[in-house]
Amino acid sequence: MENPLYAKIFKWVSWAIILVSVVLAAWAFTQFGGSGEGAAVETLLYLAYAMIILALVAVLCIGLYISAKTDPKSLVRIGIGLGAAVILALVAYFMASGAPAIGFTGATPPSASELKLTDTILNLTYILAVAAVVAIIVGEVFSSIRNKKA
């Protein structure tokens, strides 16, 4: 059964994120739309980053609040999941080489920290893609084993 307080908070946070997105997108297009220098794209990318961070923070805060209120023992599972995510991100960061971009033809080359961050995100994407495929295969194997026993 779904918690009505959680549903109400989730609805309001969703509307707030949508409203902020629309306002900032309209502002970016009116400010930078005709410049042709890519400023609007850069602004919208920063908007996307901000929205992702805002959504993650909202989900974590609301999830922690609801979990603490309804089942305090579930906070341990949330903490373990959060710790695993941080460890996974650190592993991806330490695996990142930050090597210069080969064949780069842009005006200003990316900095070493941008290259390291890009490599980290790529490594994290690869790790999560492999984990998703493994989870699908393992899930299907366990499902077929359970169905044979029944």
Taking 80 as the threshold, does the pLDDT of residue 34 lie above it?
no
Q: What is the mean pLDDT of residues 89-104?
A: 88
Mean model confidence pLDDT for the chain: 82
CA-nearest of 62, 48, 61, 60 to 17 is 48
Domain boundary among 72, 92, 109: 72
Which of 38 and 97 is assigned the larger pLDDT? 97
Same domain? 53 vs 83 = no
Q: What is the mean pLDDT of residues 39-45?
A: 69
Domain boundary among 48, 72, 96: 72
Same domain? 120 vs 102 = yes
Q: What is the mean pLDDT of residues 46-68?
A: 80
3-state helix, strand, coil in the chain (%, to 5): 80, 0, 20
| Cα distance between residue 135 and residue 41, in whole Å | 36
Domain boundary among 29, 46, 72: 72
Taking 80 as the threshold, does the pLDDT of residue 96 lie above it?
yes
Same domain? 61 vs 103 = no
